[in-house]
């Protein structure tokens, strides 16, 4: 039997930089941009009693009413023959080691070449989440590699989502960052960049609370290997927070990591490091989470990826890392980190 319609939701805009209506709804209702745009296109979103347009920019104080249509059957996800490395799988969830360059879920421009499509090719029935991102509990940027958990049932998705919100899921990333980061915590709210909606920016008005702990694991002359521990999980959080303190991720073309910014004696080394870095040097290396059925902690780890191995060796000045099978373990990345 098809579920009946949900009760209307009334939202009041409380910030001055809400941006386009479709983007605002996606964040406010935790929908994908595609799902938010579909609600507007189907004339389910009203401002002052009239159907709204996706390009409308609601000012502070605007009251928005969303009337959800009757729930339609979940759309089938096309299967795609894309290799995926699985590090853990059971009846409730699957954890994959996502390669750089792979989008997590279908979206405009990537309808059939994503991680979700790859999992569909394995015959998996994913559960929970939006129609176009079934099972997805958290995401990684396209050019960030590493560990990502996907739920196989509605119950698992709901339980994992609650654990994530309660900060019971520990996510630690390895990054190469320009300069010397040391040990610090950055707590700075994030919002869409006012001039470039594809980017995020630190904001002092509105925005969503975001906090990240950073710790240098290995120090080089021009860049450090840094352990980044998420306390919240906002879009581009690590990249924006590191950039905001003057230490962008090496190779990050969006947030300043593609420029060495050096004019001293270390400039040749910095330039060599940048040439050896084919993408943003950010990897989701360590994931700890309570199992949604048993509550037992899953401790999952992923070593530094092969495509960034030359960059790591150059950054910390240790050529032996080119032959080391487990460079992160060798450098002490998986030793006890800061409490979160």
pLDDT at 265: 78
Whole-model pTM? 0.78
pLDDT at 198: 82
How far apart, in whole angstroms, are the C-alpha atoms of residue 49 and residue 54? 15
Q: Which of 22, 132, 141, 224 is catalytic?
A: 141
pLDDT at 1: 35
Q: Give the H/E segment covering residue 161.
A: helix 154-165
DSSP per-residue codes, 275-292: HT--S--EEEEEEEEE-T
pLDDT at 263: 65
Q: Which residues are bridge partners to 46 per DSSP?
A: 51, 65
Report which of 162, 122, 150, 177 is spatially closest to residue 315, judged by C-alpha positions: 177
Q: Identify whether the C-beta of residue 140 lies closer than 8 Å to the C-beta of residue 239.
A: no
Show Cβ contacts of residue 135 under 8 Å, excluding neighbours closer than 6 positions: 116, 119, 124, 126, 127, 128, 129, 150, 151, 152, 157
pLDDT at 270: 94
Tens digit of each residue's pLDDT, the chain (340 residues): 344 456 788 999 888 877 889 888 888 887 777 778 888 888 899 998 899 988 899 999 999 999 987 754 455 677 888 999 999 999 999 999 999 999 998 777 787 889 988 888 887 767 666 555 678 899 999 999 999 999 998 899 999 999 998 999 999 999 999 999 999 999 999 998 888 878 999 998 888 999 999 999 999 999 999 999 999 999 999 999 999 999 999 999 999 988 876 667 788 999 999 999 999 999 999 999 999 999 999 999 999 999 999 999 999 999 999 999 999 999 999 997 544 4
DSSP assignment letter at 195: S
pLDDT at 6: 65
Domains and CATH numbers, the chain: 9-66 (3.10.290.10), 85-165 (3.30.2350.10), 170-331 (3.30.2350.10)
Q: Active site includes 22?
A: no
The two structure tokens encoding residue 285: 């290396």
pLDDT at 34: 76
pLDDT at 36: 83
């Amino acid at each position: 039997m098809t579920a009946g319609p949900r009760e209307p939701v009334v939202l009041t805009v409380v910030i001055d930089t809400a941006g386009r209506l479709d983007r605002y709804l996606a964040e406010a209702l935790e929908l994908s941009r595609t799902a938010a745009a579909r609600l507007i296109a189907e004339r389910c979103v009203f401002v002052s009693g009239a159907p709204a347009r996706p390009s409308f920019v609601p000012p502070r104080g605007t009251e928005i009413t969303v009337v959800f249509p009757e729930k339609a059957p979940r759309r089938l996800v096309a299967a795609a023959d894309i290799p995926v490395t699985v590090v853990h799988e059971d009846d409730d969830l699957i954890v994959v080691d996502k390669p750089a360059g792979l989008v997590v879920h279908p979206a405009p421009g990537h309808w059939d070449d994503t991680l979700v499509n790859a999992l569909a090719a394995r015959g998996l029935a994913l559960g929970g989440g939006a129609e176009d991102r079934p099972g997805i509990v958290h995401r990684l940027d396209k050019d960030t590699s590493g560990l990502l958990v996907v739920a196989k049932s509605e119950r698992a998705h709901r339980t994992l989502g609650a654990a994530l919100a309660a900060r019971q899921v520990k996510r630690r990333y390895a990054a190469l960052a320009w300069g010397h980061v040391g040990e610090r915590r950055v707590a700075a709210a994030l919002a869409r960049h006012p001039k470039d909606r594809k980017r995020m920016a630190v904001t002092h008005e509105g925005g969503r609370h975001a906090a990240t702990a950073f710790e240098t694991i290995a120090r080089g002359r021009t860049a450090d290997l840094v352990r980044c521990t998420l306390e919240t999980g906002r879009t581009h959080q690590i990249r924006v927070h590191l950039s905001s303190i003057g230490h962008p991720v090496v190779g990050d073309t969006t947030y300043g990591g593609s420029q060495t910014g050096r004019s001293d004696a270390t400039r040749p080394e910095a330039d060599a490091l940048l040439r050896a870095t084919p993408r943003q040097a950010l990897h989701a290396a360590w994931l700890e989470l309570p199992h949604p059925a048993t509550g037992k902690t899953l401790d999952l780890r992923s070593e530094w990826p092969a495509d960034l191995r030359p960059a790591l060796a150059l950054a910390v000045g240790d050529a032996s890392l080119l032959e080391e099978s487990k460079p992160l373990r060798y450098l002490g990345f998986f030793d006890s980190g800061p409490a979160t």
